[in-house]
Amino acid sequence: MLPGWRFSVAPMMDWTDRHCRAFHRALSGRARLYTEMVTTGAVIHGDRERLLGFSGVEHPVAVQLGGSNPADLAQAARIAAEFGYDEVNLNVGCPSDRVQEGRFGACLMREPALVGECVTAMKAAVCVPVTVKCRIGVDDQDPEAALDALADAVVTAGVDGLIVHARKAWLKGLSPKENRDVPPLDYGRAARLKAARPTLPLAVNGGLRSLGDVQARLAEVDGVMVGRAAYMEPAMLLDVDPLLYGMAAPAPDPFAAVEAFEPYVAGVLQSGERLHAVTRHMLGLFNGRPGSRAFRRHLSTQGMRADADLDTLRAAVALVSRDRPDARIRDAQAAA
């Protein structure tokens, strides 16, 4: 199994940029981090440093590519590997109109042979692991047959791991947001694939909201990938290393994590970027604590100013109580 693959944070457009990943690394030293999806055309022809540049603190970090042309994917994978990524992942799960028009993402579930060709080309181009993130099927496909066909193709091509979002994608009639919630979850389908292919490194994604959910899934598969929960409630990442890897977290609590993260923030500010570029990813860090709303409000207003700096971040943190609310209060806040 890939190092750190036991727990990973999902690639999420507009969210998991380099600053988000650096912040998440301050909370977990072992979680595997993924970039937002970048298309082959953007990598080959665009501003590579802007698209692919990352901080060394992010390792282990994987790049997710979108595309369906084997030669282009091989070239983009080679470029990403030269940047130092630890893994190259192929998106076979995004259902947006944009990816459908480009014949990649979830619509590739209908073309498993092509996905296999893409993996073969990428494997020949790089020495780092090549993985695929897919759905259990699209539209009226039978999830049993569709996922088996995809798995057969990528395993034959030598894939190093498969991440299964345990939902179908509906390419017509549902928006990308609805496709993350409306199709029912079927973790059992991923578990059956793992049972049928015990040597295939298999991770599951979709609907995981707590580390309790994560541990339940790890009884069936090799790894889990958490998306929105990790982003909206990033403090959960502080428990990943102790619970899943038997190692101490990088920081004992969210307050210490912010303090340890300050040098990175200072570097971003020195480069000319605004504080908000980083702190927009931190708004949920203190959820459940008294003062968390004031923290979010301060960063959402004062953090947007052109002159916002580390003192702005420190002032926001100072609004949060260091006393943990008891379970009753937390449960009431979660239900609100």
Mean pLDDT of the chain: 92
Q: How confident is the model at residue 171 (pLDDT cuts 50, 70, 90)?
A: confident
Rounded mean pLDDT, 296-317: 97
What pLDDT is stored for residue 96 in this prediction? 77
pLDDT at residue 91, rounded to an integer = 96
Q: In this predicted model, what pLDDT tens digit does every residue of 49-81 receive, in sequence order?
A: 999 999 999 999 999 999 999 999 999 999 999
Query: Which member of 20, 94, 118, 134 is catalytic?
Result: 94
Check if the beta carbon of residue 80 is closer than 8 Å to that of residue 51: no
Whether pLDDT at 332 is above 80: no
**Whether residue 324 has pLDDT greater than 90:** no
Question: The pTM is what?
Answer: 0.92
Q: pLDDT tens, 89-146?
A: 999 998 876 666 667 788 999 999 999 999 999 999 999 999 999 999 998 899 999 9
**Is 127 in the active site?**
no
Structure tokens given for 63: 């790049």
